[in-house]
Amino acid sequence: MEIIHLILGKANPQRMNGVNKVVHQLAEKQAVFGVKAAIWGITENLELNFETRNFETRLFQKRKFPFFISKELKEAVINKKGKAIFHLHGGWIPVYYTLVKLFFKHDIKVVFTPHGAYNTIAMQKNSIVKKVYFYFFEKKILQKAHHIHCIGKSEVHGLKRIFNTRNIILLPYGFENNPVIELKKVKEDNIVFGFIGRLDIYTKGLDTLIKAFKKFHAKEPSSMLWILGDSKEKFELQHIISRNLLDNSVILYGSKFGQDKDELLQRMDVFVHPSRNEGLPLSVIEAASYGKPCIVTDATNIGAEVVRYNSGRTVYSQNIKKLEEAMSEMFAVYNKQEEFIAMQRNAINMVKENYNWNKLLLKFNTDLYQI
Protein backbone atom coordinates (compact mmCIF):
# COMPACT_ATOMS: atom_id res chain seq x y z
CA MET A 1 0.00 0.00 0.00
CA GLU A 2 1.38 3.40 -0.99
CA ILE A 3 1.68 6.15 1.66
CA ILE A 4 0.87 9.60 0.27
CA HIS A 5 1.82 12.52 2.49
CA LEU A 6 -0.36 15.53 1.76
CA ILE A 7 0.84 18.96 2.87
CA LEU A 8 0.66 22.65 2.13
CA GLY A 9 3.92 23.44 0.35
CA LYS A 10 6.58 21.38 -1.39
CA ALA A 11 8.26 19.66 1.57
CA ASN A 12 11.41 21.65 0.89
CA PRO A 13 13.89 20.92 3.72
CA GLN A 14 15.73 24.17 2.97
CA ARG A 15 12.90 26.31 4.34
CA MET A 16 12.01 27.52 7.83
CA ASN A 17 9.01 25.22 8.01
CA GLY A 18 9.23 22.38 10.51
CA VAL A 19 6.34 20.40 9.04
CA ASN A 20 7.82 20.46 5.53
CA LYS A 21 11.24 19.40 6.86
CA VAL A 22 9.86 16.51 8.89
CA VAL A 23 7.60 15.23 6.13
CA HIS A 24 10.47 15.34 3.63
CA GLN A 25 12.70 13.24 5.88
CA LEU A 26 9.86 10.84 6.72
CA ALA A 27 9.13 10.15 3.02
CA GLU A 28 12.84 9.91 2.26
CA LYS A 29 13.43 7.32 5.00
CA GLN A 30 10.31 5.37 4.09
CA ALA A 31 11.58 5.09 0.52
CA VAL A 32 14.97 3.86 1.75
CA PHE A 33 13.24 1.18 3.83
CA GLY A 34 11.24 -0.06 0.86
CA VAL A 35 7.95 1.70 1.56
CA LYS A 36 6.27 3.19 -1.50
CA ALA A 37 5.96 6.82 -0.39
CA ALA A 38 5.03 10.06 -2.12
CA ILE A 39 4.43 13.68 -1.21
CA TRP A 40 1.55 15.65 -2.68
CA GLY A 41 1.82 19.38 -2.08
CA ILE A 42 -0.88 22.02 -2.43
CA THR A 43 0.92 25.19 -3.41
CA GLU A 44 0.57 28.50 -5.23
CA ASN A 45 3.75 27.91 -7.24
CA LEU A 46 3.99 24.65 -9.18
CA GLU A 47 7.67 25.06 -10.06
CA LEU A 48 9.76 22.01 -9.11
CA ASN A 49 12.50 24.11 -7.52
CA PHE A 50 14.08 21.48 -5.29
CA GLU A 51 16.72 18.78 -5.52
CA THR A 52 16.15 15.27 -6.89
CA ARG A 53 14.33 12.99 -4.44
CA ASN A 54 14.05 9.25 -3.95
CA PHE A 55 10.26 9.50 -3.79
CA GLU A 56 7.57 10.94 -6.05
CA THR A 57 6.47 14.55 -5.51
CA ARG A 58 3.29 15.89 -7.13
CA LEU A 59 2.19 19.51 -6.86
CA PHE A 60 -1.37 20.75 -7.13
CA GLN A 61 -2.59 24.32 -7.55
CA LYS A 62 -3.83 26.01 -4.41
CA ARG A 63 -7.27 27.55 -4.97
CA LYS A 64 -8.17 31.06 -3.83
CA PHE A 65 -11.09 29.89 -1.70
CA PRO A 66 -9.45 27.88 1.12
CA PHE A 67 -11.99 25.01 1.09
CA PHE A 68 -11.76 24.35 -2.67
CA ILE A 69 -9.52 21.73 -4.28
CA SER A 70 -8.42 21.64 -7.90
CA LYS A 71 -10.00 19.26 -10.40
CA GLU A 72 -6.59 17.61 -10.88
CA LEU A 73 -6.24 16.87 -7.17
CA LYS A 74 -9.76 15.48 -6.91
CA GLU A 75 -9.18 13.11 -9.85
CA ALA A 76 -5.77 12.06 -8.52
CA VAL A 77 -7.26 11.20 -5.12
CA ILE A 78 -10.08 9.11 -6.59
CA ASN A 79 -7.60 7.22 -8.77
CA LYS A 80 -5.78 6.09 -5.61
CA LYS A 81 -8.82 4.32 -4.14
CA GLY A 82 -7.74 0.96 -2.78
CA LYS A 83 -4.11 1.71 -3.61
CA ALA A 84 -2.98 4.23 -1.00
CA ILE A 85 -3.31 5.57 2.52
CA PHE A 86 -3.32 9.36 2.69
CA HIS A 87 -1.40 10.99 5.54
CA LEU A 88 -2.47 14.60 6.17
CA HIS A 89 -0.05 16.93 7.95
CA GLY A 90 -0.96 20.10 9.87
CA GLY A 91 -4.04 21.38 11.70
CA TRP A 92 -6.55 24.13 10.98
CA ILE A 93 -6.21 23.71 7.19
CA PRO A 94 -9.63 24.26 5.52
CA VAL A 95 -8.86 22.26 2.38
CA TYR A 96 -8.41 19.16 4.54
CA TYR A 97 -12.10 19.30 5.46
CA THR A 98 -12.98 19.01 1.77
CA LEU A 99 -10.43 16.28 1.18
CA VAL A 100 -11.58 14.19 4.13
CA LYS A 101 -15.16 14.30 2.82
CA LEU A 102 -13.79 13.06 -0.53
CA PHE A 103 -11.82 10.29 1.21
CA PHE A 104 -14.91 9.21 3.15
CA LYS A 105 -17.14 9.20 0.07
CA HIS A 106 -14.75 6.90 -1.80
CA ASP A 107 -13.72 4.77 1.20
CA ILE A 108 -10.10 5.93 1.07
CA LYS A 109 -8.02 5.42 4.22
CA VAL A 110 -6.58 8.49 5.96
CA VAL A 111 -4.39 9.24 8.98
CA PHE A 112 -3.88 12.72 10.37
CA THR A 113 -0.95 14.41 12.12
CA PRO A 114 -1.87 17.86 13.58
CA HIS A 115 1.79 18.75 14.38
CA GLY A 116 1.05 20.46 17.68
CA ALA A 117 -2.06 22.31 16.47
CA TYR A 118 -4.17 21.30 19.47
CA ASN A 119 -1.82 22.09 22.33
CA THR A 120 -3.50 24.14 25.03
CA ILE A 121 -1.59 27.34 24.16
CA ALA A 122 -2.35 26.93 20.47
CA MET A 123 -6.06 26.59 21.25
CA GLN A 124 -6.03 29.83 23.25
CA LYS A 125 -4.97 31.84 20.20
CA ASN A 126 -8.11 33.17 18.47
CA SER A 127 -10.05 30.86 20.78
CA ILE A 128 -13.59 31.95 19.85
CA VAL A 129 -12.96 31.63 16.12
CA LYS A 130 -11.26 28.27 16.65
CA LYS A 131 -14.15 26.92 18.72
CA VAL A 132 -16.64 27.77 15.98
CA TYR A 133 -14.36 26.45 13.24
CA PHE A 134 -13.65 23.31 15.22
CA TYR A 135 -17.33 22.51 15.71
CA PHE A 136 -18.25 22.87 12.04
CA PHE A 137 -15.06 21.74 10.25
CA GLU A 138 -11.98 20.54 12.17
CA LYS A 139 -13.96 18.10 14.29
CA LYS A 140 -15.15 16.32 11.12
CA ILE A 141 -11.53 15.63 10.13
CA LEU A 142 -10.81 14.05 13.51
CA GLN A 143 -13.99 11.98 13.36
CA LYS A 144 -13.21 10.54 9.93
CA ALA A 145 -9.47 9.96 10.36
CA HIS A 146 -8.64 6.31 10.97
CA HIS A 147 -5.76 7.29 13.25
CA ILE A 148 -4.76 10.62 14.83
CA HIS A 149 -1.00 10.82 15.17
CA CYS A 150 0.34 13.02 17.99
CA ILE A 151 4.06 13.72 18.25
CA GLY A 152 4.15 14.99 21.84
CA LYS A 153 2.38 14.43 25.17
CA SER A 154 1.19 18.03 25.41
CA GLU A 155 -0.61 17.58 22.10
CA VAL A 156 -2.37 14.46 23.40
CA HIS A 157 -3.53 16.39 26.48
CA GLY A 158 -4.68 19.35 24.40
CA LEU A 159 -6.57 17.15 21.96
CA LYS A 160 -8.37 15.22 24.70
CA ARG A 161 -9.63 18.50 26.14
CA ILE A 162 -11.57 19.23 22.97
CA PHE A 163 -12.20 15.81 21.40
CA ASN A 164 -12.93 12.60 23.26
CA THR A 165 -11.30 9.75 21.35
CA ARG A 166 -9.20 6.66 21.92
CA ASN A 167 -7.95 6.78 18.37
CA ILE A 168 -4.69 8.56 19.24
CA ILE A 169 -1.23 7.20 18.52
CA LEU A 170 1.67 8.94 20.29
CA LEU A 171 4.79 8.56 18.20
CA PRO A 172 7.70 10.97 17.64
CA TYR A 173 9.41 11.54 14.35
CA GLY A 174 12.93 10.37 13.74
CA PHE A 175 15.95 12.42 12.78
CA GLU A 176 19.22 11.59 11.10
CA ASN A 177 22.33 13.75 10.83
CA ASN A 178 25.15 12.46 8.64
CA PRO A 179 28.04 14.97 9.04
CA VAL A 180 30.97 14.06 11.27
CA ILE A 181 30.52 16.02 14.49
CA GLU A 182 33.53 17.60 16.18
CA LEU A 183 32.88 18.14 19.87
CA LYS A 184 33.57 21.72 20.83
CA LYS A 185 36.37 22.50 23.27
CA VAL A 186 36.14 25.60 25.40
CA LYS A 187 38.73 28.20 24.48
CA GLU A 188 37.28 31.43 25.80
CA ASP A 189 34.54 32.83 28.02
CA ASN A 190 32.25 34.32 25.39
CA ILE A 191 29.59 31.60 25.41
CA VAL A 192 27.16 31.72 22.46
CA PHE A 193 23.54 30.78 23.03
CA GLY A 194 21.50 30.10 19.91
CA PHE A 195 17.93 29.77 18.67
CA ILE A 196 16.73 28.60 15.24
CA GLY A 197 13.12 28.75 14.18
CA ARG A 198 10.14 30.81 13.15
CA LEU A 199 10.12 34.21 14.87
CA ASP A 200 6.80 33.81 16.62
CA ILE A 201 7.60 35.85 19.71
CA TYR A 202 4.88 34.57 22.03
CA THR A 203 4.63 30.94 20.90
CA LYS A 204 8.40 30.37 20.82
CA GLY A 205 8.97 32.28 24.09
CA LEU A 206 11.38 34.74 22.48
CA ASP A 207 10.20 37.53 24.78
CA THR A 208 11.24 35.44 27.77
CA LEU A 209 14.51 34.50 26.05
CA ILE A 210 15.56 38.13 25.48
CA LYS A 211 14.75 39.18 29.06
CA ALA A 212 16.48 36.13 30.56
CA PHE A 213 19.54 36.70 28.40
CA LYS A 214 19.64 40.35 29.51
CA LYS A 215 19.94 39.21 33.14
CA PHE A 216 22.60 36.66 32.25
CA HIS A 217 24.50 39.11 30.04
CA ALA A 218 24.69 41.61 32.91
CA LYS A 219 26.80 39.01 34.75
CA GLU A 220 28.71 37.76 31.68
CA PRO A 221 29.15 40.78 29.34
CA SER A 222 31.06 38.78 26.69
CA SER A 223 28.16 36.36 26.13
CA MET A 224 26.20 36.37 22.85
CA LEU A 225 22.77 35.27 21.65
CA TRP A 226 22.30 34.32 17.99
CA ILE A 227 18.80 34.05 16.58
CA LEU A 228 18.23 32.46 13.16
CA GLY A 229 14.82 32.73 11.53
CA ASP A 230 12.34 35.16 10.08
CA SER A 231 8.70 36.25 10.11
CA LYS A 232 6.62 39.41 10.03
CA GLU A 233 7.45 39.78 13.75
CA LYS A 234 11.16 40.29 13.10
CA PHE A 235 10.97 44.09 13.47
CA GLU A 236 9.01 43.75 16.72
CA LEU A 237 11.66 41.37 18.04
CA GLN A 238 14.40 43.79 17.04
CA HIS A 239 12.54 46.51 18.94
CA ILE A 240 12.49 44.30 22.08
CA ILE A 241 16.23 43.72 21.68
CA SER A 242 16.93 47.44 21.30
CA ARG A 243 14.66 48.36 24.19
CA ASN A 244 16.71 46.05 26.39
CA LEU A 245 19.98 47.59 25.15
CA LEU A 246 21.20 44.33 23.62
CA ASP A 247 21.89 45.40 20.03
CA ASN A 248 25.57 44.50 20.31
CA SER A 249 24.98 41.17 22.03
CA VAL A 250 21.93 39.69 20.27
CA ILE A 251 22.28 39.07 16.53
CA LEU A 252 19.27 38.46 14.28
CA TYR A 253 20.69 36.56 11.32
CA GLY A 254 17.40 36.12 9.48
CA SER A 255 16.66 32.86 7.69
CA LYS A 256 19.67 30.67 6.93
CA PHE A 257 19.63 27.40 5.04
CA GLY A 258 21.94 24.57 4.08
CA GLN A 259 25.63 25.07 4.76
CA ASP A 260 25.16 28.65 6.03
CA LYS A 261 22.78 27.46 8.74
CA ASP A 262 24.89 24.42 9.61
CA GLU A 263 28.04 26.51 10.03
CA LEU A 264 26.32 28.94 12.40
CA LEU A 265 24.74 26.09 14.35
CA GLN A 266 28.10 24.39 14.83
CA ARG A 267 29.58 27.65 16.16
CA MET A 268 26.88 27.91 18.85
CA ASP A 269 27.69 26.54 22.30
CA VAL A 270 24.24 25.99 23.83
CA PHE A 271 20.90 25.83 22.03
CA VAL A 272 17.87 27.47 23.69
CA HIS A 273 14.24 26.79 22.82
CA PRO A 274 11.90 28.27 25.47
CA SER A 275 8.65 27.60 23.59
CA ARG A 276 5.20 27.96 25.13
CA ASN A 277 3.71 25.56 22.60
CA GLU A 278 5.13 22.80 20.40
CA GLY A 279 4.47 19.46 18.82
CA LEU A 280 8.07 18.29 18.67
CA PRO A 281 10.63 20.95 17.64
CA LEU A 282 12.91 19.62 14.91
CA SER A 283 15.36 22.47 15.55
CA VAL A 284 16.10 21.16 19.06
CA ILE A 285 16.63 17.61 17.82
CA GLU A 286 18.87 18.86 15.02
CA ALA A 287 20.92 21.00 17.40
CA ALA A 288 21.35 18.08 19.79
CA SER A 289 22.45 15.87 16.88
CA TYR A 290 25.30 18.34 16.36
CA GLY A 291 26.30 17.87 19.99
CA LYS A 292 24.74 21.06 21.29
CA PRO A 293 23.49 20.93 24.88
CA CYS A 294 19.95 22.32 24.94
CA ILE A 295 17.89 24.46 27.29
CA VAL A 296 14.22 23.75 26.64
CA THR A 297 10.86 24.24 28.27
CA ASP A 298 8.76 21.23 29.17
CA ALA A 299 6.27 22.39 26.49
CA THR A 300 8.70 21.26 23.79
CA ASN A 301 7.92 17.60 24.61
CA ILE A 302 11.62 16.83 24.69
CA GLY A 303 12.34 18.10 28.20
CA ALA A 304 12.11 14.67 29.83
CA GLU A 305 14.75 13.29 27.46
CA VAL A 306 17.03 16.28 28.12
CA VAL A 307 16.85 15.52 31.84
CA ARG A 308 17.21 11.76 31.43
CA TYR A 309 20.32 12.06 29.24
CA ASN A 310 21.78 15.07 31.08
CA SER A 311 22.02 16.82 27.71
CA GLY A 312 21.11 20.29 28.94
CA ARG A 313 18.48 21.84 31.19
CA THR A 314 14.67 21.77 31.23
CA VAL A 315 12.60 24.70 32.49
CA TYR A 316 9.13 23.75 33.72
CA SER A 317 7.43 27.13 33.40
CA GLN A 318 7.65 30.17 31.16
CA ASN A 319 9.75 32.11 33.64
CA ILE A 320 12.52 34.67 33.08
CA LYS A 321 14.26 33.89 36.36
CA LYS A 322 14.23 30.12 35.80
CA LEU A 323 15.51 30.48 32.24
CA GLU A 324 18.34 32.77 33.35
CA GLU A 325 19.26 30.27 36.07
CA ALA A 326 19.42 27.52 33.43
CA MET A 327 21.73 29.71 31.32
CA SER A 328 23.97 30.29 34.34
CA GLU A 329 24.07 26.58 35.11
CA MET A 330 25.03 25.81 31.53
CA PHE A 331 27.74 28.46 31.63
CA ALA A 332 29.20 26.75 34.70
CA VAL A 333 29.23 23.44 32.79
CA TYR A 334 30.69 25.19 29.74
CA ASN A 335 33.69 26.26 31.79
CA LYS A 336 34.43 22.66 32.82
CA GLN A 337 36.07 21.13 29.77
CA GLU A 338 35.44 17.43 30.41
CA GLU A 339 31.93 17.94 31.79
CA PHE A 340 30.88 20.04 28.78
CA ILE A 341 32.26 17.54 26.25
CA ALA A 342 30.41 14.75 28.09
CA MET A 343 27.18 16.73 27.83
CA GLN A 344 27.74 17.20 24.09
CA ARG A 345 28.08 13.41 23.73
CA ASN A 346 24.91 12.98 25.76
CA ALA A 347 23.02 15.23 23.35
CA ILE A 348 24.16 13.17 20.36
CA ASN A 349 23.23 9.91 22.10
CA MET A 350 19.81 11.29 23.04
CA VAL A 351 18.98 11.81 19.37
CA LYS A 352 20.44 8.50 18.21
CA GLU A 353 18.52 6.47 20.78
CA ASN A 354 15.16 8.27 20.85
CA TYR A 355 14.75 9.49 17.28
CA ASN A 356 16.19 6.55 15.38
CA TRP A 357 14.38 6.04 12.07
CA ASN A 358 15.17 2.31 12.02
CA LYS A 359 13.09 1.77 15.16
CA LEU A 360 10.40 4.37 14.52
CA LEU A 361 9.54 3.36 10.96
CA LEU A 362 8.58 -0.09 12.22
CA LYS A 363 6.09 1.58 14.58
CA PHE A 364 4.78 3.77 11.78
CA ASN A 365 4.06 0.63 9.75
CA THR A 366 2.60 -1.48 12.57
CA ASP A 367 0.76 1.21 14.56
CA LEU A 368 -0.10 4.10 12.28
CA TYR A 369 -0.66 2.52 8.86
CA GLN A 370 -2.31 -0.73 9.91
CA ILE A 371 -5.89 0.24 9.08
**Which pLDDT tens digit goes with each residue over 128-162?**
888 899 999 999 999 999 999 999 988 888 888 88
pLDDT band, residue 370 (cuts 50/70/90): confident
Phi, psi angle pair for 86, to nearest 5° = -90, 135
d(CA 24, CA 308): 29
Using alpha carbons, select from 264, 268, 2, 192 the residue that is nearest to residue 109.
2
Q: Any idea which architecture 192-354 has in CATH? A: 3-Layer(aba) Sandwich (3.40)
Mean pLDDT, rounded, of the chain: 93
Evaluated on CA atoms 353, 358, 364, 370, the torsion sign reads: negative
Write out pLDDT tens, residues 222-261: 999 999 999 999 999 999 999 999 999 999 999 998 889 9
The predicted model gives 318-338 an average pLDDT of 96
In whole angstroms, how far apart are CA 38 and each of 17, 53, 68, 148, 223?
19, 10, 22, 20, 45
Contact indicator for 208, 319 with CB cutoff of 8 Å? yes
Phi, psi angle pair for 253, to nearest 5° = -85, -15
- Whether 92 shows a pLDDT value over 80: the answer reads yes
The predicted model gives 109-134 an average pLDDT of 84
pLDDT band, residue 24 (cuts 50/70/90): very high
Supply the pLDDT for residue 183: 78
Contact indicator for 50, 10 with CB cutoff of 8 Å? yes
Supply the pLDDT for residue 189: 66
State the pTM of this model: 0.90
Using alpha carbons, select from 361, 304, 317, 10 the residue that is nearest to residue 174.
361
CATH of region 2-174+356-368, choose from 3.40.190.10, 3.40.50.170, 3.40.50.2000, 3.40.718.10: 3.40.50.2000
The predicted model gives 332-360 an average pLDDT of 94
Q: What share of the chain in percent tops pLDDT 90?
A: 80
d(CA 113, CA 149): 5
d(CA 165, CA 154): 16
Write out pLDDT tens, residues 27-72: 999 999 999 999 999 999 999 888 899 999 999 999 999 999 999 9
CATH 3.40.50.2000 segments of the chain: 2-174+356-368, 192-354
